[in-house]
Amino acid sequence: MAKTPNLSHGRDYLAIPGPSVIPDAVLRAMHRSSPNIYEGELIDLTATLIPDLKAVARTDHSVAIYIGNGHAAWEAALVNTLQEGDKVLVPSSGQFAHSWANMAAALGIDCEILEFGKQSPFDIDRISEVLAQDTAHKIKAVLAVHVDTSTGIRNDPAAIRAALDALDHPALLMADCIASLGCDRFEMDDWGVDIMVAACQKGLMTPAGLGFVFFNDRAKRARASLKRVSNYWDWTPRADPEFYYQYFGGTAPTHHLYGLRAALDMIGNEGLENVWDRHAILAHAVWAAFDAWGREGSLRMNAADPAYRSHAVTALRIDPPYGTKLRAWAQKEIGLTLGMGLGMAPSGDRAWHGFFRLGHMGHVNGHMILGALGGIQAGLRALKIPHGSGALDAAADVIAGQRGP
Ligand SMILES: *Cc1c(COP(=O)(O)O)cnc(C)c1O
């Protein structure tokens, strides 16, 4: 007997805010035998990655590569600059600030969290006030998440640098660009960021497994002042290796390096400014659709003001349990995976039923975004979730160049 037809057969679409869609070129580059790790091609290829990574981060300074995820890069940034008993200031616009702070706290670092809730960016005046009161300069670093992936809120690291400079406060400025790198504009050197952490599986379009820490001379001085840093996490030999294995503190992540090379080539060929602009236009198409849907029913973007919405991910609120139902429908019926709510429940449940996220980072183009939005439209209808009309037309107008950004 014939089974019920199901429209999920075809290419799956992982539209979550990381890991992101892996380009075929990256997959192909990784599909090969293991290279010689002592000499030749891989050594040469690794050397080419360093300047290209720095170009994407907009820095002339140093980068250390870790075999690890974003959490590894978080820890690396902390242990190379801080020690037990040091204090840090952690402004928060969502879950990721808290997770980074938890990691610091586990290292014995005293974290002062400045909470701005789940729907607002950092209030720079409040950050300034706290820094101004710290006349003894006990605060050694400000840990700033650029784009908080749980809320879709984008913050302004340059404004924190301005606040630090205005007060002549020596704290290091650390930025978490794990979600934003290669999606939202970020200028490490121009914005005065001392340390930036990233990973390869979001805007850099490579399977999870590489973490990056970019650091400048001020950060190097902080490292030099520490009594010790564990051999494995020490960024010094990784950024300035005498022998090839020191790049990775051991065996090279061979296939990830081939994949990353292909991804950086794609970014280089498109041009970083064009990559940012593509993300901006696609984000505006997404927002146009959600604006239209939100004119009736309960579906709303989490960040009310587009000025502080990320171009990499959009977080949505909807009457529970519609968030969970919509995600389940899209997964089962059309092969579209939407992101769950992270840290959104009052109780702290990881997946809250009144929340979901749409990732639009990395290897995404106009037809993919229209496809994801069309899938959401179908889900809203199938599940009889109240919503406004005209969403797909509104998104198509943006893609057609007939409306913003
Ligand atoms: C994804 C993400 C992380 C965590 O990265 P993992 O690779 O999952 O460890 C941290 N911060 C932000 C802003 C992220 O988007």
Per-residue pLDDT tens over the stretch 156-208: 999 999 999 999 999 999 999 999 999 999 999 999 999 999 999 999 999 99
- Kindly report, residue by residue over 173-184, the tens digit of the pLDDT: 999 999 999 999
Question: What pLDDT is attached to residue 346?
Answer: 64
What CATH number is associated with residue 187? 3.40.640.10
Q: Which pLDDT value is given to residue 163?
A: 98
Which residues have C-beta within 8 Å of that of residue 290, sequence separation ≥ 6? Answer: 299, 300, 301, 314, 316, 391
As a whole-number percent, the residues of the chain with pLDDT over 90 amount to: 94
Mean pLDDT, residues 213-238 taken together? 97
From 66, 96, 202, mutation site for ligand 1 pocket: most ligand atoms within 8 A of C-beta: 96
Decide whether any atom of ligand 1 lies within 6 Å of the 290 Cβ: no
Residue 92 shares a structural domain with residue 54: yes
Distance 342 CA to ligand 1 centre (A): 12
Does one domain contain both 161 and 275?
no
Are 259 and 195 within one domain?
yes
Domain boundary among 210, 235, 268: 268
Residue 2 has pLDDT above 80, yes or no: no
Domain boundary among 268, 302, 320: 268
DSSP 8-state assignment for residue 8: T
Determine the atom of ligand 1 nearest the C-alpha atom of 146. 13
Which residue range is the domain that position 242 belongs to? Answer: 34-268
Q: Give the closest residue (by CA) to ligand 1 atom 3.
A: 70
206 lines ligand 1 (CB under 6 A): no
Does ligand 1 have an atom closer than 6 angstroms to the CB of 179?
yes
Distance CA 249, CA 126 (A): 40
Both 346 and 361 in one domain: the answer is: yes
Q: Does position 1 have pLDDT exceeding 60, yes or no?
A: no
Structure tokens at 142: 């400000």
Mean pLDDT for all residues in the chain: 96
d(CA 188, CA 54): 9
pLDDT of residue 14: 97
CA separation (Å) from 207 to 22, 118, 146, 195? 7, 28, 22, 23
pLDDT of 208 reads 98
Specify if 110 maps to a domain.
yes
Mean pLDDT lowest for which of 290-294, 318-322, 351-355? 351-355
> Over pLDDT 70: what percentage of the chain?
98
Choice from 65, 67, 149, 204 to test ligand 1 binding pocket (greatest atom count within 8 A of CB): 149
Is the same domain home to 100 and 201? yes
Read off the CATH number of the domain in which 276 is found.
3.90.1150.10
Closest alpha carbon to 327 in 303, 300, 346, 354 = 354
* Domains: count for the chain: 2
pLDDT per residue over 345-398, tens digit each?
766 666 689 999 999 999 999 999 999 999 999 999 999 999 999 999 999 999
Residue nearest to atom 4 of ligand 1 (CA): 70
Q: What is the pLDDT of residue 405?
A: 73
